[in-house]
Chain A
Amino acid sequence: MSISEFEPQDYSPDGAWKLVFLAWLLASVSTLGALFLSQVMGIAPCVLCWYQRIFMFPLVFVLAAGLFPFDARLVRYALPLAVVGWTIALFHVLVVAGVVPEDLRPCAQGIPCKDQQIEWFGFVTIPLLSLIAFTLIGLLLLLTYFKASK
Protein backbone atom coordinates (compact mmCIF):
# COMPACT_ATOMS: atom_id res chain seq x y z
CA MET A 1 0.00 0.00 0.00
CA SER A 2 1.28 3.39 -0.84
CA ILE A 3 1.29 6.20 1.64
CA SER A 4 -0.90 8.45 -0.44
CA GLU A 5 -3.92 6.17 -0.05
CA PHE A 6 -3.98 7.02 3.61
CA GLU A 7 -3.95 10.71 3.02
CA PRO A 8 -7.30 12.41 3.75
CA GLN A 9 -8.78 14.16 0.74
CA ASP A 10 -8.46 17.67 2.12
CA TYR A 11 -4.83 17.37 3.09
CA SER A 12 -3.47 20.86 3.39
CA PRO A 13 -0.16 22.29 4.38
CA ASP A 14 -1.01 23.82 7.74
CA GLY A 15 0.91 26.99 6.93
CA ALA A 16 -1.23 27.68 3.86
CA TRP A 17 -4.44 27.04 5.80
CA LYS A 18 -3.41 29.55 8.43
CA LEU A 19 -2.64 32.18 5.80
CA VAL A 20 -6.07 31.82 4.24
CA PHE A 21 -7.72 31.78 7.66
CA LEU A 22 -5.95 35.04 8.47
CA ALA A 23 -7.12 36.54 5.17
CA TRP A 24 -10.67 35.40 5.99
CA LEU A 25 -10.42 37.07 9.41
CA LEU A 26 -9.29 40.31 7.78
CA ALA A 27 -12.11 40.19 5.23
CA SER A 28 -14.67 39.47 7.97
CA VAL A 29 -13.44 42.30 10.20
CA SER A 30 -13.46 44.67 7.21
CA THR A 31 -16.98 43.61 6.20
CA LEU A 32 -18.42 43.92 9.70
CA GLY A 33 -16.55 47.18 10.17
CA ALA A 34 -18.02 48.58 6.94
CA LEU A 35 -21.51 47.47 7.99
CA PHE A 36 -21.01 49.07 11.41
CA LEU A 37 -20.01 52.39 9.86
CA SER A 38 -22.99 52.49 7.50
CA GLN A 39 -25.77 50.68 9.37
CA VAL A 40 -25.00 51.56 12.98
CA MET A 41 -23.14 54.87 12.81
CA GLY A 42 -25.18 56.03 9.83
CA ILE A 43 -22.26 57.14 7.66
CA ALA A 44 -23.49 56.82 4.09
CA PRO A 45 -21.00 55.05 1.79
CA CYS A 46 -19.92 57.01 -1.29
CA VAL A 47 -19.75 55.45 -4.76
CA LEU A 48 -16.10 54.40 -4.44
CA CYS A 49 -16.85 52.86 -1.03
CA TRP A 50 -19.60 50.80 -2.64
CA TYR A 51 -17.23 49.46 -5.28
CA GLN A 52 -14.75 48.45 -2.60
CA ARG A 53 -17.55 46.74 -0.67
CA ILE A 54 -18.52 44.82 -3.81
CA PHE A 55 -15.03 43.26 -3.84
CA MET A 56 -14.60 42.87 -0.07
CA PHE A 57 -17.89 41.26 0.99
CA PRO A 58 -17.69 38.18 -1.28
CA LEU A 59 -14.16 37.44 0.01
CA VAL A 60 -15.69 36.41 3.35
CA PHE A 61 -17.61 33.62 1.63
CA VAL A 62 -15.09 32.66 -1.05
CA LEU A 63 -12.28 32.31 1.50
CA ALA A 64 -14.47 30.43 4.00
CA ALA A 65 -15.53 27.99 1.27
CA GLY A 66 -11.86 27.38 0.44
CA LEU A 67 -11.00 26.59 4.07
CA PHE A 68 -13.25 23.53 4.50
CA PRO A 69 -11.97 21.35 2.95
CA PHE A 70 -8.85 23.31 2.19
CA ASP A 71 -8.48 24.02 -1.51
CA ALA A 72 -5.42 25.99 -2.56
CA ARG A 73 -7.12 26.83 -5.86
CA LEU A 74 -9.19 29.37 -3.93
CA VAL A 75 -6.39 31.83 -4.70
CA ARG A 76 -7.51 31.78 -8.33
CA TYR A 77 -10.97 32.93 -7.32
CA ALA A 78 -10.13 35.25 -4.45
CA LEU A 79 -7.06 37.07 -5.72
CA PRO A 80 -8.83 38.87 -8.61
CA LEU A 81 -11.35 40.25 -6.12
CA ALA A 82 -8.56 41.42 -3.83
CA VAL A 83 -6.57 43.01 -6.66
CA VAL A 84 -9.51 44.96 -8.10
CA GLY A 85 -10.62 46.02 -4.60
CA TRP A 86 -7.06 47.11 -3.85
CA THR A 87 -6.96 49.21 -7.04
CA ILE A 88 -10.21 51.00 -6.16
CA ALA A 89 -9.04 51.56 -2.59
CA LEU A 90 -5.78 53.05 -3.85
CA PHE A 91 -7.70 55.34 -6.21
CA HIS A 92 -9.95 56.41 -3.32
CA VAL A 93 -6.96 57.16 -1.08
CA LEU A 94 -5.48 59.28 -3.88
CA VAL A 95 -8.79 61.16 -4.26
CA VAL A 96 -8.82 61.88 -0.52
CA ALA A 97 -5.18 62.97 -0.60
CA GLY A 98 -5.99 65.35 -3.44
CA VAL A 99 -3.59 63.66 -5.87
CA VAL A 100 -6.39 62.78 -8.29
CA PRO A 101 -7.91 66.04 -9.62
CA GLU A 102 -11.48 66.95 -8.70
CA ASP A 103 -12.99 66.55 -12.16
CA LEU A 104 -11.78 62.96 -12.41
CA ARG A 105 -13.89 61.94 -9.44
CA PRO A 106 -16.67 59.51 -10.36
CA CYS A 107 -18.61 60.56 -7.27
CA ALA A 108 -21.21 62.92 -8.63
CA GLN A 109 -24.14 61.39 -6.79
CA GLY A 110 -24.86 62.77 -3.38
CA ILE A 111 -22.04 61.73 -1.13
CA PRO A 112 -18.63 63.20 -1.94
CA CYS A 113 -15.80 60.65 -1.79
CA LYS A 114 -13.30 63.31 -0.79
CA ASP A 115 -15.03 64.31 2.45
CA GLN A 116 -13.96 62.11 5.31
CA GLN A 117 -16.14 61.76 8.39
CA ILE A 118 -13.52 59.73 10.21
CA GLU A 119 -9.92 60.75 10.67
CA TRP A 120 -8.19 58.90 13.48
CA PHE A 121 -4.81 60.33 14.52
CA GLY A 122 -5.19 62.83 11.72
CA PHE A 123 -4.46 60.47 8.85
CA VAL A 124 -6.31 57.14 9.28
CA THR A 125 -9.37 57.38 7.01
CA ILE A 126 -11.85 54.70 5.97
CA PRO A 127 -10.34 54.30 2.46
CA LEU A 128 -6.87 53.95 4.01
CA LEU A 129 -8.16 51.14 6.25
CA SER A 130 -9.68 49.54 3.17
CA LEU A 131 -6.38 49.83 1.26
CA ILE A 132 -4.49 48.23 4.17
CA ALA A 133 -7.00 45.38 4.38
CA PHE A 134 -6.89 44.69 0.63
CA THR A 135 -3.08 44.86 0.66
CA LEU A 136 -2.78 42.34 3.50
CA ILE A 137 -5.38 39.99 2.01
CA GLY A 138 -3.63 40.16 -1.39
CA LEU A 139 -0.22 39.41 0.15
CA LEU A 140 -1.61 36.52 2.22
CA LEU A 141 -3.20 35.04 -0.91
CA LEU A 142 0.07 35.36 -2.86
CA LEU A 143 1.93 33.65 -0.02
CA THR A 144 -0.69 30.90 -0.01
CA TYR A 145 -0.17 30.42 -3.73
CA PHE A 146 3.61 29.99 -3.36
CA LYS A 147 3.32 27.80 -0.30
CA ALA A 148 0.74 25.50 -1.90
CA SER A 149 2.57 25.19 -5.22
CA LYS A 150 5.75 24.07 -3.48
Chain B
Amino acid sequence: MKKRVQLRKDVQAKQEGNQLKKALFIGSAILLVLVFVIGIFLYESERLDKSAKVAAQNQVFLARAHPPGLGPADAKVHLVEFFDPACGTCREFYPLVKDLMKANRDKMRLSLRYAPFHAGSDNVVRILEAARKQDKFWQTLEAVLASQSYWAPNHKAQVELLWPRLGNLGLDLERIKRDMYAPEIETVLTQDLADAKALNVTMTPEFFVNGRPLPEFGFEQLKKLVNNAVAKAY
Protein backbone atom coordinates (compact mmCIF):
# COMPACT_ATOMS: atom_id res chain seq x y z
CA MET B 1 0.00 0.00 0.00
CA LYS B 2 2.73 2.36 0.98
CA LYS B 3 4.50 1.51 -2.24
CA ARG B 4 1.44 2.49 -4.28
CA VAL B 5 1.14 5.88 -2.65
CA GLN B 6 4.78 6.48 -3.37
CA LEU B 7 4.26 5.47 -6.98
CA ARG B 8 1.28 7.75 -7.38
CA LYS B 9 3.36 10.57 -6.02
CA ASP B 10 6.08 9.74 -8.54
CA VAL B 11 3.63 9.82 -11.40
CA GLN B 12 2.23 13.12 -10.21
CA ALA B 13 5.70 14.57 -9.89
CA LYS B 14 6.50 13.39 -13.40
CA GLN B 15 3.36 15.01 -14.77
CA GLU B 16 4.19 18.24 -13.00
CA GLY B 17 7.67 17.94 -14.41
CA ASN B 18 6.23 17.60 -17.90
CA GLN B 19 4.04 20.66 -17.38
CA LEU B 20 7.11 22.56 -16.28
CA LYS B 21 9.06 21.44 -19.34
CA LYS B 22 6.26 22.52 -21.66
CA ALA B 23 6.05 25.89 -19.94
CA LEU B 24 9.82 26.26 -20.19
CA PHE B 25 9.77 25.40 -23.88
CA ILE B 26 6.86 27.67 -24.81
CA GLY B 27 8.20 30.47 -22.62
CA SER B 28 11.61 30.29 -24.29
CA ALA B 29 10.06 30.24 -27.75
CA ILE B 30 7.98 33.33 -26.98
CA LEU B 31 10.97 35.08 -25.43
CA LEU B 32 13.15 34.34 -28.47
CA VAL B 33 10.55 35.68 -30.90
CA LEU B 34 10.02 38.73 -28.68
CA VAL B 35 13.75 39.52 -28.60
CA PHE B 36 13.82 39.09 -32.39
CA VAL B 37 10.93 41.52 -32.94
CA ILE B 38 12.32 44.09 -30.48
CA GLY B 39 15.68 43.75 -32.24
CA ILE B 40 14.01 44.59 -35.56
CA PHE B 41 12.43 47.73 -34.10
CA LEU B 42 15.64 48.92 -32.46
CA TYR B 43 17.67 48.27 -35.59
CA GLU B 44 15.15 49.97 -37.90
CA SER B 45 14.78 53.07 -35.74
CA GLU B 46 18.54 53.46 -35.54
CA ARG B 47 18.76 53.05 -39.30
CA LEU B 48 16.09 55.71 -39.92
CA ASP B 49 18.06 58.18 -37.78
CA LYS B 50 21.14 57.40 -39.79
CA SER B 51 19.34 57.61 -43.15
CA ALA B 52 18.43 61.27 -42.61
CA LYS B 53 22.11 62.09 -42.11
CA VAL B 54 23.13 59.83 -44.94
CA ALA B 55 20.62 61.48 -47.31
CA ALA B 56 22.65 64.70 -47.22
CA GLN B 57 25.91 62.88 -47.91
CA ASN B 58 24.26 60.83 -50.68
CA GLN B 59 23.54 63.94 -52.74
CA VAL B 60 27.14 64.06 -53.96
CA PHE B 61 26.70 60.75 -55.73
CA LEU B 62 23.11 61.35 -56.84
CA ALA B 63 23.45 64.81 -58.38
CA ARG B 64 25.45 63.71 -61.43
CA ALA B 65 24.60 65.45 -64.68
CA HIS B 66 25.14 62.57 -67.11
CA PRO B 67 22.27 60.11 -66.46
CA PRO B 68 19.22 59.93 -68.72
CA GLY B 69 16.20 61.49 -67.09
CA LEU B 70 12.56 62.47 -67.30
CA GLY B 71 10.69 65.44 -65.90
CA PRO B 72 11.49 69.15 -65.56
CA ALA B 73 14.97 70.11 -64.36
CA ASP B 74 13.56 72.46 -61.70
CA ALA B 75 11.34 69.81 -60.09
CA LYS B 76 11.91 69.76 -56.35
CA VAL B 77 11.59 66.02 -55.90
CA HIS B 78 14.41 64.05 -57.44
CA LEU B 79 13.95 60.31 -57.84
CA VAL B 80 17.07 58.34 -58.71
CA GLU B 81 16.70 54.73 -59.75
CA PHE B 82 19.62 52.34 -59.98
CA PHE B 83 18.60 49.60 -62.34
CA ASP B 84 19.86 46.61 -64.26
CA PRO B 85 18.31 46.01 -67.70
CA ALA B 86 18.48 42.24 -67.06
CA CYS B 87 16.69 42.45 -63.69
CA GLY B 88 13.10 41.21 -63.67
CA THR B 89 11.99 43.38 -60.77
CA CYS B 90 13.34 46.45 -62.59
CA ARG B 91 11.18 45.49 -65.56
CA GLU B 92 8.11 45.19 -63.36
CA PHE B 93 8.84 48.53 -61.68
CA TYR B 94 9.25 50.43 -64.96
CA PRO B 95 5.51 51.02 -65.69
CA LEU B 96 4.88 51.70 -61.98
CA VAL B 97 7.59 54.36 -61.87
CA LYS B 98 6.18 55.87 -65.06
CA ASP B 99 2.74 56.10 -63.47
CA LEU B 100 4.30 57.67 -60.40
CA MET B 101 5.95 60.28 -62.64
CA LYS B 102 2.63 60.96 -64.35
CA ALA B 103 0.82 61.37 -61.04
CA ASN B 104 3.39 63.96 -59.92
CA ARG B 105 3.90 65.76 -63.23
CA ASP B 106 6.01 68.95 -62.96
CA LYS B 107 6.87 68.15 -59.37
CA MET B 108 9.39 65.37 -59.78
CA ARG B 109 12.16 64.30 -62.05
CA LEU B 110 13.69 60.90 -62.61
CA SER B 111 17.32 59.98 -63.19
CA LEU B 112 18.19 56.48 -64.33
CA ARG B 113 21.51 55.07 -63.17
CA TYR B 114 23.00 51.76 -64.22
CA ALA B 115 23.83 48.95 -61.86
CA PRO B 116 24.43 46.05 -64.26
CA PHE B 117 24.95 43.32 -61.68
CA HIS B 118 23.83 40.46 -63.94
CA ALA B 119 26.45 38.75 -66.07
CA GLY B 120 26.68 40.38 -69.48
CA SER B 121 24.18 43.13 -68.77
CA ASP B 122 26.87 45.83 -68.94
CA ASN B 123 26.78 45.27 -72.71
CA VAL B 124 23.04 45.95 -72.72
CA VAL B 125 23.77 49.19 -70.86
CA ARG B 126 26.27 50.06 -73.61
CA ILE B 127 23.53 49.50 -76.22
CA LEU B 128 21.14 51.76 -74.26
CA GLU B 129 23.74 54.52 -74.03
CA ALA B 130 24.60 54.15 -77.73
CA ALA B 131 20.87 54.38 -78.57
CA ARG B 132 20.76 57.54 -76.48
CA LYS B 133 23.20 59.10 -78.94
CA GLN B 134 20.50 58.55 -81.57
CA ASP B 135 17.83 60.11 -79.31
CA LYS B 136 16.09 56.77 -79.00
CA PHE B 137 16.91 55.94 -75.38
CA TRP B 138 13.39 55.49 -74.01
CA GLN B 139 12.05 53.51 -76.96
CA THR B 140 15.08 51.24 -76.77
CA LEU B 141 14.77 50.85 -73.00
CA GLU B 142 11.14 49.83 -73.36
CA ALA B 143 11.95 47.34 -76.11
CA VAL B 144 14.83 45.95 -74.04
CA LEU B 145 12.66 45.49 -70.97
CA ALA B 146 9.72 44.06 -72.94
CA SER B 147 11.93 41.38 -74.53
CA GLN B 148 13.96 40.67 -71.40
CA SER B 149 12.90 37.02 -71.15
CA TYR B 150 14.21 36.37 -74.69
CA TRP B 151 17.69 37.84 -74.38
CA ALA B 152 18.33 37.13 -70.70
CA PRO B 153 17.57 33.43 -70.29
CA ASN B 154 18.64 32.14 -66.86
CA HIS B 155 19.54 35.68 -65.78
CA LYS B 156 22.42 35.87 -68.24
CA ALA B 157 22.31 38.74 -70.67
CA GLN B 158 23.12 37.67 -74.23
CA VAL B 159 23.52 40.58 -76.61
CA GLU B 160 23.26 38.44 -79.74
CA LEU B 161 19.73 37.46 -78.69
CA LEU B 162 18.83 41.13 -78.15
CA TRP B 163 19.72 42.52 -81.60
CA PRO B 164 16.72 41.00 -83.44
CA ARG B 165 14.42 42.56 -80.82
CA LEU B 166 15.66 46.06 -81.65
CA GLY B 167 14.96 45.77 -85.38
CA ASN B 168 11.88 47.95 -85.76
CA LEU B 169 12.84 50.96 -83.66
CA GLY B 170 14.51 52.81 -86.52
CA LEU B 171 17.88 52.47 -84.82
CA ASP B 172 21.12 52.52 -86.77
CA LEU B 173 22.35 49.20 -85.37
CA GLU B 174 25.70 49.41 -87.14
CA ARG B 175 26.33 52.75 -85.46
CA ILE B 176 25.32 51.32 -82.10
CA LYS B 177 27.83 48.52 -82.51
CA ARG B 178 30.49 51.12 -83.24
CA ASP B 179 29.47 53.43 -80.38
CA MET B 180 29.03 50.75 -77.73
CA TYR B 181 32.61 50.81 -76.59
CA ALA B 182 33.14 54.56 -76.85
CA PRO B 183 35.19 55.95 -73.96
CA GLU B 184 32.37 58.26 -72.79
CA ILE B 185 30.05 55.25 -72.38
CA GLU B 186 32.81 53.47 -70.49
CA THR B 187 33.01 56.52 -68.21
CA VAL B 188 29.25 56.45 -67.55
CA LEU B 189 29.41 52.75 -66.63
CA THR B 190 32.38 53.20 -64.32
CA GLN B 191 30.89 56.29 -62.68
CA ASP B 192 27.49 54.66 -62.08
CA LEU B 193 29.04 51.52 -60.64
CA ALA B 194 31.33 53.57 -58.40
CA ASP B 195 28.38 55.66 -57.17
CA ALA B 196 26.31 52.50 -56.63
CA LYS B 197 29.12 51.15 -54.49
CA ALA B 198 29.45 54.39 -52.55
CA LEU B 199 25.68 54.42 -51.95
CA ASN B 200 25.73 50.80 -50.87
CA VAL B 201 23.44 49.70 -53.72
CA THR B 202 23.68 45.91 -53.74
CA MET B 203 20.34 44.98 -55.29
CA THR B 204 18.29 46.40 -58.12
CA PRO B 205 16.15 48.34 -58.45
CA GLU B 206 17.27 50.73 -55.73
CA PHE B 207 15.58 54.09 -55.33
CA PHE B 208 16.61 57.36 -53.74
CA VAL B 209 14.09 60.16 -53.21
CA ASN B 210 15.96 63.41 -52.57
CA GLY B 211 18.83 61.34 -51.29
CA ARG B 212 16.78 59.07 -49.05
CA PRO B 213 16.87 55.35 -49.71
CA LEU B 214 13.72 53.24 -49.32
CA PRO B 215 13.29 52.33 -45.67
CA GLU B 216 12.15 48.94 -46.91
CA PHE B 217 11.83 47.57 -50.43
CA GLY B 218 8.46 47.74 -52.18
CA PHE B 219 6.45 49.92 -54.55
CA GLU B 220 4.08 51.12 -51.82
CA GLN B 221 7.09 52.24 -49.79
CA LEU B 222 8.45 54.10 -52.83
CA LYS B 223 5.11 55.76 -53.45
CA LYS B 224 4.91 56.83 -49.83
CA LEU B 225 8.43 58.25 -49.85
CA VAL B 226 7.72 60.20 -53.07
CA ASN B 227 4.38 61.49 -51.83
CA ASN B 228 5.93 62.62 -48.55
CA ALA B 229 8.70 64.43 -50.42
CA VAL B 230 6.17 66.10 -52.75
CA ALA B 231 4.00 67.18 -49.81
CA LYS B 232 7.07 68.58 -48.07
CA ALA B 233 8.37 70.48 -51.10
CA TYR B 234 5.11 71.91 -52.48
Contact = CB atoms under 8 A, between A and B. Distances in A.
Nearest to B10: A6
A104 interface: no
B21 interface: yes
B1 interface: no
Given A32-B36, A40-B40, A14 B17 contact: yes
A67 B25 contact: yes
B28 A25 contact: yes
Q: Is the interface of B mostly helix, strand, loop or mixed?
A: helix
A17 B11 contact: no
B7 A40 contact: no
A40 B43 contact: yes
A68 B10 contact: no
B7 A8 contact: no
Nearest to B217: A42
A68 B25 contact: yes
Interface string B195-233: 000000010000000000000000000000000000000
Q: Classify chain B's interface size.
A: 20 to 34
B40 A8 contact: no
B7 A3 contact: yes
B43 A11 contact: no
Contacts of B7: 3, 6
Interface in A16-70: 17, 21, 24-25, 28-29, 32, 35-36, 40-42, 44, 64, 67-68
B202 A8 contact: no
Contacts of A29: 32
Nearest to A43: B202
B39 A10 contact: no
B14 A11 contact: yes
A149 B18 CA distance: 21
B29 interface: yes
B73 interface: no
B43 A68 contact: no
Given A21-B21, A21-B25, A64-B25, 11 more contacts: A6-B10, A6-B11, A10-B18, A21-B24, A28-B28, A29-B32, A32-B36, A36-B36, A36-B39, A36-B40, A44-B202
Interface of B: 7, 10-11, 14-15, 17-18, 21-22, 24-25, 28-29, 32-33, 35-36, 39-40, 43-44, 202
